[in-house]
C-alpha cells in the first residue's frame, strides 16, 4: 500500500479556508474547468512523512513505534497562513503557529518509520504546507500558450487572463490567516491513486496515534 503520516486541520480551520477560497473566486471553486482539481476538504492535510509503497502488514509495527516516540511530545497549535504555488501546478496554503514543533514532530515520525523498517524520504521540511488544488500539465501549458498569444496581440498588463492557473488565488491568499487549532494526534493514511472522487486518490485512515499528554489536555 501507499502510505503517509499527517496532521489534519480542525473542521473550523478548513471551513474558514473554504470561505476565503470562495471569496477569491467562488465560481472557479465550484467549477474549476478542465485540468484543475480542488482537493476535497476531507483530504486536506499537512504531510509529516511520505512513506511511499510499503507492505500491507507493516502498519501495526509502525503504529507501535509511533506510540513510543510520540509519548514525549505534547499538543501544540498551528494555523493556516499565506499561500503560494509549486511550479504553477500546485496551489498550497502555508502554516503559522508552532511550526518549529511541527518540524520536530516530523523528525520523530521519521524515526518511528525507521524503527519499523519503513521509508521516510519525503518529510515536512522548510515549507510545511497544505495542498489545496492541482493543475494538469496540459492546463498549465494551455494557459502559457494563451498568455503568449495575448502578448503578441499587444494586450496590456492585466489583460487576457490571470496568468498561471492559480495566480489569482496565491496572490489573494498571501495575507490569509485562519483560526488556530490544537494538534493532538497524527494520522497514518493509505492512498490508492485514481480510486477516489473524479479520478483522484482514495484516502483510508489506517490508524490515529495521540501525542503524549493529549488526553490530559482535553480534560
Question: Length of the chain, please?
Answer: 219
The C-alpha cell at 44 is 486536506
Catalytically annotated residue among 16, 51, 129, 203? 129
Give 108's contacts (C-beta < 8 A, 6+ positions apart): 69, 70, 73
Separation CA 92–CA 189 (nearest Å): 20
27 is catalytic: no
Residue the block writes with cell 500539465: 137
For 105, phi and psi rounded to 5 degrees?
A: -60, -40
Q: How many CA atoms lie within 13 A of 4 on its CB side?
A: 21
Residue 199 DSSP class: G
Catalytically annotated residue among 45, 51, 108, 203? 45
For the annotated catalytic residues, the residue numbers are 45, 129
Amino acid at each position: 500500500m501507499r502510505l503517509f503520516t499527517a496532521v489534519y486541520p480542525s473542521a473550523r480551520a478548513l471551513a474558514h479556508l473554504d470561505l476565503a477560497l470562495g471569496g477569491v473566486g467562488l465560481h472557479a471553486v465550484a467549477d474549476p474547468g478542465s485540468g484543475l482539481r480542488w482537493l476535497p476538504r476531507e483530504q486536506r492535510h499537512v504531510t509529516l512523512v511520505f512513506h511511499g509503497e510499503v507492505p500491507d502488514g507493516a502498519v501495526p509495527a509502525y503504529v507501535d513505534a509511533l506510540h513510543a516516540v510520540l509519548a514525549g511530545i505534547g499538543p501544540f497549535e498551528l494555523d493556516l497562513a499565506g499561500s503560494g504555488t509549486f511550479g504553477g501546478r500546485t496551489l498550497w496554503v502555508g502554516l503559522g503557529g508552532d511550526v518549529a514543533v511541527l518540524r520536530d514532530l516530523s523528525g520523530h515520525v521519521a524515526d518511528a518509520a525507521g524503527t519499523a523498517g519503513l521509508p521516510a524520504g519525503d518529510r515536512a521540511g522548510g515549507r510545511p504546507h497544505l495542498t489545496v488544488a492541482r493543475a494538469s500539465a496540459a492546463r498549465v501549458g494551455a494557459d502559457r500558450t494563451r498568455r503568449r498569444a495575448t502578448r503578441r496581440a499587444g494586450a496590456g498588463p492585466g489583460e487576457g487572463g490571470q496568468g498561471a492557473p492559480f495566480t489569482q488565488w496565491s496572490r489573494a491568499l498571501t495575507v490569509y490567516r485562519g483560526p488556530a487549532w490544537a494538534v493532538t494526534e497524527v494520522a497514518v493514511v493509505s492512498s490508492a491513486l485514481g480510486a477516489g472522487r473524479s479520478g483522484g486518490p482514495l484516502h483510508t485512515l489506517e490508524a490515529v496515534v495521540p501525542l503524549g499528554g493529549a488526553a490530559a489536555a482535553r480534560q
